[in-house]
Amino acid sequence: MIEFSQVEFSYAPEQYQLLQDISFRIEEGEFVAVLGRNASGKSTLARLFNGLLLPDCGNVKIDGLDTGNPEELLAIRQKVGFLFPSPDRQLIADMVEDEVAFALENLGLPTNEIRARVEAALEMVAMENYKKHPPSLLSGGQKQKICIAGILSMRPKYMVLDEPTSRLDPAERIDILATLMSLKAEWGLTLIYITHHVEEIIAADRVFILRNRHVDDFSLSELLEKQECLLQLGIEPPEISRLIYLLNQNKRFEIPYEILSVTNLADFLCR
């Protein structure tokens, strides 16, 4: 379980407090989406999960381990995988398979185990044919997938992803999400997923919205019905929900917001 209690954070304490009195719990196996405007503190919040940043007040506990205790950081970082928004800042090795193996080598795993995990992780992101390629020669989206594989190979219990699909094409987004969803089901992987695209988090158990230094906890269905609120928060509703909203402005339609697929909406309109 991840527990934030009364966390406060600021980069320049005397000037501006970015996060204030933030408390929440995330249970194992949950999929929590984090939404919010640019500069609302999403990436800052993400960095508090594994002790890359430490709270000014309050504490962050991962399975009871405190990120403020330097002796517990190693254990915390093995549990919490972290994906940075810009893959170029995360890639260090000169070959894809070395990149994915890097963390595993540092954990001192046996060679066979490392090989098997690297293969499996690259397959999960459909990059198994690029094992011998230098990451620097890959496209932005491919680099992003390599970073994701690097984390998956560690078999983390929790995974914090800061805009993991910003450079992927729509088909790849669907693939990566499907992979993450299946790992959630198989391993009980807990996902903390930062994004600007509501479309990607339709399966989320909970949605955290960051605004005015606080985190508000919502369910997705609540949000979809209040589209004006969502837009006011600087968040774009899924395409289908936007269409339903516009159609429902016309009194003869009463289309339920549970509809999220094209086929279902077409079926409804053709009744």
Partner 1 sequence: MPIILKNVSYTYQINTPFMRKALRDINLHLGNHEILGILGGTGSGKTTLLQIITGLLTPDSGQIVIDEADIKHYRKKTVNIFDKIGIVFQVPEEQIFEKSVFAEVAFGLQKKKLSPAEISRRVESALLSVGLSEDYYQRFTYSLSSGEKRRLAIASVLVLETEYIFFDEPTAGLDYEGRTLLLDNIKKLNEEKRIGMIIVSHDPLELFNVCHKCVFLKDGQLIFSGDLQAWRDNYEFLTGQGMVFPKSQQLVCELKRRGWDLKGEMKNFEEVAARIINCYDDISN
Phi and psi of 112, rounded to 5°? Answer: -60, -45
CA distance 9 to 271: 53
CB 136 within 8 A of CB 93: no
Smallest distance from partner 1 to CB 70, Å: 26
Distances (CA, A) of 115 to 73, 112, 157: 26, 5, 20
> Is the distance from CB of 148 to CB of 84 less than 8 angstroms?
no
Residue 47 sits at the vertex; the CA angle it makes with 223 and 57, to the nearest 5 degrees, is 95
Nearer to partner 1, 29 or 234 (CB): 234
Beta-bridged to residue 8, according to DSSP, are: 57
- Choice between 5 and 264, CB closer to partner 1: 264
**Residue 92 binds partner 1 (CB under 8 A):** no
171 binds partner 1 (CB under 8 A): yes
| C-alpha distance across the termini of the chain, in Å | 46
Q: Please return the burial class of 132, using the count of CB atoms within 10 Å of its CB with bins 0-12, 13-18 and 19+.
A: exposed
90 binds partner 1 (CB under 8 A): no
Applying CB under 8 A, among 74, 92, 185, 231 the residue interacting with partner 1 is 231
User: What is the closest distance, in whole angstroms, from the C-beta atom of residue 116 to partner 1 in the complex?
Assistant: 25
Does position 212 interact with partner 1 (CB under 8 A)? The reply is: no
**Nearer CB in complex with partner 1: 15/112:** 15
Asked whether position 178 contacts partner 1 by CB under 8 A, the answer is no
Q: What is the largest CA-CA distance in the chain?
A: 66
Residues of span 123-142 touching partner 1 by CB under 8 A: 132-134, 137-142
Among 7, 103, 168, 215, binds partner 1 (CB under 8 A): 168
By CB under 8 A, tell whether 254 contacts partner 1: no
- Assess contact for 58 and 5: CB atoms under 8 A: yes
- The region of 72-80, 106-114, 160-168, 221-229 touching partner 1 under the rule CB under 8 A is 160-168
Residue type, 7: V
What's the CA gap between 4 and 62, in Å, rounded?
9
Q: Which of 54, 120, 181, 265 binds partner 1 (CB under 8 A)?
A: 265
User: Which of 57, 116, 185, 262: binder of partner 1 (CB under 8 A)?
Assistant: 262
- Interface positions with partner 1 (CB under 8 A): 11-12, 36-39, 43, 85-86, 88, 132-134, 137-142, 163, 166-172, 174, 196, 231, 234-236, 238-240, 242-243, 246-247, 250, 252-253, 262-263, 265-266, 269-270
